[in-house]
Amino acid sequence: MGKTRFILPNAFTSLNFLLGAFSICWTTGAFTAKDPILMGAYFIILSVLLDKLDGFAARLVNASSEFGAQFDSLADLIAFGLAPAFSILFAYKTLSPSFFEANVPLMAVGFSVYVLCAAMRLAKYNACDADCYHHHFSGVPTTFVGAANAILVVFFKNKDVFADTSSILIYLPVVVLLITGFLMVSPLFLPKLQPRKSKALNLFQAVLIVLTYIAGFMFISEKMIILEYLLVLGLGYLIIGLGLGLVQRSKIIEEAKAESEK
């Protein structure tokens, strides 16, 4: 098979990279002015749905490599770091131009913090965490955070949050951007979705994953039931997962130390 086995996983990574780049192009109106916020968010969601395929393909054909790991991180930085930040920034710029002009420093800070945290999160994972924690994420992954901001920006748009400049809620999108940025580099642990000992739990996870993929591909329809399902599922996973990570923090660290000493 030789080097040709690397084509498949790198093709998926290339697709994720391009989806992130397309998201920025559509969000900024470079390609079309037809609902650029929704289209930009949809490209991020598609990238999330395809994100695990490069790793799966690499394991399937035994084509894991250092190049693949670094390329994957660059694709993640574009799709889940830069693209969501551009999505929030241009949502304000196009849907609430007067508020944007009056709060440029706040927009710049929110944008800068988020993209820097995404870059540091990915660098930290490659340098320190990739082989340390097999069952938990150290810090909230960029994939989850990117999806959360993509879903929220469309939800806020549909609820006219950007339109009412007199409401304090208009600050919510940039505040969420800042919070999710800090969560990426936080020392909190979040359980990974992995096979469990309980068959019932595995079935429950599998059903949720299938429903999430269906909802993700249907995200472009902008139906509120889809947005609400994704928001409730994501928020539930974040709250329950981070809570379990806090309760089991000492055990997680001890297990990681024990595995590293073997």
Question: Which residues sit opposite 138 in a β-bridge?
Answer: 189
- Tell me how many degrees the CA angle 149-152-155 measures, rounded to the nearest 5: 155
Domain boundaries, the chain: 2-260
State the pTM of this model. 0.90
pLDDT of 2 reads: 54
Q: Look up residue 138 and give its amino acid.
A: S
pLDDT of 129 reads: 57
Q: Which residues contact 30 (CB under 8 A, 6 or more apart)?
A: 24
- From first to last of its 262 residues, the chain has per-residue pLDDT tens of 456 666 777 788 899 999 999 999 999 988 776 789 999 999 999 999 888 776 666 666 666 677 777 888 899 999 999 999 999 999 999 999 999 999 999 999 999 999 999 999 998 877 765 557 778 888 899 999 999 999 999 999 999 999 888 899 999 999 999 999 999 999 899 988 777 777 888 888 889 889 988 999 999 886 778 889 999 999 999 999 999 999 989 888 888 777 766 6
- Tell me how many degrees the CA angle 160-163-168 measures, rounded to the nearest 5: 90
Question: What phi and psi, each to the nearest 5 degrees, are found at residue 189?
Answer: -110, 140
pLDDT of 254 reads: 85
What are the C-alpha distances in Å from 51 to residues 77, 152, 170? 12, 20, 31
- Tell me how many degrees the CA angle 234-204-251 measures, rounded to the nearest 5: 70
Q: Which CATH superfamily is domain 2-260 in?
A: CDP-alcohol phosphotransferase transmembrane (TM) domain (1.20.120.1760)
pLDDT of 63 reads: 61
CA separation for the pair 121, 137 (Å, rounded): 11
CA separation for the pair 53, 58 (Å, rounded): 8
Question: Which residues sit opposite 104 in a β-bridge?
Answer: none
Give the dihedral sign, CA 62/66/69/72: negative
